[in-house]
Amino acid sequence: MTIDEKLHLFNQVGEEIIEREELKDLLSSGEQLYAYDGFEPSGQMHIAQALMRAININRITSTGVKFKMLIGDWHALANNKLGGDLEKIKLVGQYFVEVWKACGLDMKNIEFVWASDLVKDDTYWMLVLKIAKTNGIKRFIRTAEIMGRDESMDLSLAQLIYPAMQCADIFTLGARITQLGMDQRKVNMLGREVGPQLGFWKPVVVSHHMLLGLGTPTTQTDDKVKRTIELKMSKSKPDSAIFVTDTYKDIDRKLRKAWCPEGGISENPILEYCKYIVFGLHNSLTIERNEEHGGVVTYDSYEALEKEYAQKKIHPLDLKAAVTTVLDTALEPIRSHFATDDTARNLLKQIQSFQVTR
């Protein structure tokens, strides 16, 4: 694979890349590179964390870059997820791993790392302290978005420590590339700032798109904040997202009521599902209709689909039906794993009983 081909795959993943020339230099260096993402175990997993994540990670590992998945159990504890119950958080983390096993991830090039293992090393906490000393408290408060919080919220001291921990994760894991969502941009930029100050590297930041919730768009003017809030809220608002063990009936019901104005392409979550998941899984999308409604039509690119949807050549219900079929097929291996594997089934049963807290 040429450097340009590798960059093309990264461009498919990154809604924003800082900086592309630095990434090109890394990919040209010949060294074994590591990228990372981190997750707070906090409830049932939705398709952005599973299918969309698998698509993006597989694109990156196909370039020769290895991936480290940080299961942020201590981060979830600091952010008071699941009421700060670490045992529950760990169970959800184990459930996350079971989902990733079943959702098509390139497992041979991925390493799962638990934050609870990183924190056992004194050098980790020394690095957290050094990072915490680089800036005033207001600088760290500005990264509150990474926790699904707002700067105006009354943050606990544990939540103020969180950004320094996340920066420390980058360098402890040896990640030359941070590959997280746009909601994590601020803390990754902090990592670029403090890395050279502390004798480390300046990580390249590859930020993927934040999938919209299925509900009617909010009135907030900050698009990035809005997307963050909708995604973070999806676990406490079950109908705002598709979860990995949803049945065909669940998917059909949620998509039928989802926001999808006829001809509207801005902030349309169904089109986002098409762009970031459907066309990430397949090279085409077939929409089946009666002859009086235009008959069967197949689109070989998202751009072609969007163009005709904007021209009102596709009815929202027909698009939703096609997307429902694709998602149901993609989720079947995950549902099957949780139905037939005793460990996975027991984990799911336990976490379904947990009270989700933001």
Together in a domain, 122 and 160 = yes
Please say whether the dihedral angle defined by the alpha carbons of residues 160, 163, 166 and 170, taken in this order, is positive or negative.
Answer: negative
Query: Could you tell me which of 92, 98, 60 has the C-alpha nearest to residue 75?
Result: 92
**Residue 212 has what pLDDT?**
92
Together in a domain, 108 and 194 = yes
**Residue 153 has what pLDDT?**
67
Domain count, the chain: 2
**Residue 205 has what pLDDT?**
98
**Residue 321 has what pLDDT?**
97
Indicate the residue among 177, 208, 239 that finishes a domain: 208
**Residue 228 has what pLDDT?**
46
Asked if the structure places residue 147 within a domain, the reply is: yes
Three-class secondary structure of residue 304 per DSSP:
helix
Together in a domain, 165 and 258 = no
**Residue 110 has what pLDDT?**
96
**Residue 281 has what pLDDT?**
96
Together in a domain, 122 and 230 = no
Together in a domain, 251 and 124 = no
What six digits make up the tokens of 60? 């990156």
Asked if the structure places residue 165 within a domain, the reply is: yes
Asked if the structure places residue 276 within a domain, the reply is: yes
Indicate the residue among 173, 208, 243 that finishes a domain: 208
Asked if the structure places residue 232 within a domain, the reply is: yes
Together in a domain, 29 and 153 = yes
Count of beta carbons in the 10 Å neighbourhood of residue 293: 12
Asked if the structure places residue 52 within a domain, the reply is: yes
Together in a domain, 37 and 185 = yes
> What is the Cα–Cα distance from 212 to 214, expressed in whole angstroms?
6
- The per-residue DSSP string of 177-209 comes to EEEEEGGGHHHHHHHHHHHHHTT----EEEEEP
**Residue 35 has what pLDDT?**
98
Angular region, 303: left φ>0, alpha ψ -120 to 50, beta rest: alpha
**Residue 229 has what pLDDT?**
45
Q: What is the CATH number of the domain that holds 103?
A: 3.40.50.620
Together in a domain, 321 and 239 = yes
Asked if the structure places residue 358 within a domain, the reply is: no
Indicate the residue among 157, 182, 208 that finishes a domain: 208
Q: What is the CATH number of the domain that holds 310?
A: 1.10.240.10
- The per-residue DSSP string of 57-109 comes to HHHHHTTT-EEEEEE-HHHHHHTTGGGG-HHHHHHHHHHHHHHHHHTT--GGG
**Residue 293 has what pLDDT?**
85
Together in a domain, 137 and 33 = yes
Together in a domain, 199 and 288 = no
Asked if the structure places residue 214 within a domain, the reply is: no
- The per-residue DSSP string of 101-154 comes to HHTT--GGGEEEEEHHHHTTSHHHHHHHHHHHTSS-HHHHHTTGGGGT--TTS-
Three-class secondary structure of residue 286 per DSSP:
strand
pTM for this entry: 0.90
> Domain of 299?
223-351
How does pLDDT run along the chain (358 residues), one tens digit per residue? 999 999 999 999 999 999 999 999 999 999 999 999 999 998 899 999 999 999 999 999 999 999 999 999 999 999 999 999 999 999 999 999 999 999 999 999 999 999 999 999 999 999 999 999 999 988 888 887 666 665 556 788 888 999 999 999 999 999 999 999 999 999 999 999 999 999 999 999 999 999 999 998 875 545 544 444 444 445 557 788 999 999 999 999 999 999 999 999 999 999 999 999 999 999 999 999 999 888 999 999 999 999 999 999 999 999 999 999 999 999 999 999 999 999 999 999 999 888 654 4
> What is the Cα–Cα distance from 106 to 59, expressed in whole angstroms?
9
Together in a domain, 188 and 249 = no
Q: How far is CA 222 from CA 183, 218, 219, 227, in A?
A: 12, 10, 9, 9
> What is the Cα–Cα distance from 299 to 323, expressed in whole angstroms?
13
